[in-house]
A and B are shown apart, each in its own frame.
Chain A
């Protein structure tokens, strides 16, 4: 299947700093990428949908100024957690949909464990 690479897999940062997480589709073009957040023992919750070349669509309750999403090319989307705080510590996962595809063809990155100290 198609490969989605997410980097870094783990990051520890100080409170107040910003962290960027990258999501790359390695062998296909992804017009749509999704960013999820997972709390311990809880569901993956969709944070936002990003479409190449346009602004991301955020789910209700997700602060767009806090979680900046950029999808500048068909193979790269980035999530920047700005002014991170301990409550932002979580597991973040991206997925990418193939061009013209639907979420049944979504491929997931390995996730990023963010710890804010």
Chain B
């Protein structure tokens, strides 16, 4: 079945460091891919998405490129801020899956001043 695998956290970085959170997926067909973020005490928010191969999603300085050949959707940011501290979830969705989102386990990011 479909699945999403994320790197385990927590990831601890200093402010202005480069961030990569790895995400790979297993799915039949051509899923859409997402990154969601959950700030402390809040719900999940869509951070960015990509709907087809080679698409790049971007938002708030974060980027992720849909790589079909490596079945990956790694999240990157060139310079993290303390305010980026949150839990990040990679997810996929297939049009024929009754609108179900399949999530990775989440990666906690802690950015220190």
Contact = CB atoms under 8 A, between A and B. Distances in A.
A32 interface: yes
A5 B62 CA distance: 27
Nearest to A111: B43
A30 B38 CA distance: 21
Contacts, number: 59
Chain A interface, DSSP helix/strand/loop, else mixed: strand
Decide if the interface of chain B is mainly helix, strand, loop or mixed.
Answer: strand
Interface residues of A, number: 26
A97 B45 contact: no
Most buried by B among A1, A43, A45, A108: A43
A93 interface: yes
Interface of B: 4, 32, 34, 36, 41-46, 49, 89, 93, 95, 98-106
Interface of A: 1, 4, 6, 32, 34, 36, 41-46, 49, 57, 93, 95, 97, 102-104, 106-111
